[in-house]
Amino acid sequence: MTPVELAEKLHARDVVLLAGRLFLSLIFVHEGLQLATHFEGAQKAMAALG
């Protein structure tokens, strides 16, 4: 494997890792916004769970 091929492979891996991290953070941001904007429903659900 040449240095150029290795660099391309590592770059592709970095891009995939970045995309995965962005999608994972999007899940947390979405759920946080849902909790903040629908707090009454979330409060009732938490109270029901104890």
Coil, strand or helix at 2 = coil
* Average pLDDT rounded to a whole number, residues 5-34: 93
pLDDT for 5:
85
Question: Does the pLDDT at position 26 exceed 90?
Answer: yes
Average pLDDT, the chain: 91
Instruction: Compute the distance between CA of residue 21 and CA of residue 15 in angstroms, rounded to an integer.
Output: 10
d(CA 38, CA 47): 15
d(CA 39, CA 37): 6
| Entry pTM | 0.64
Residue 9 has pLDDT above 90, yes or no: no
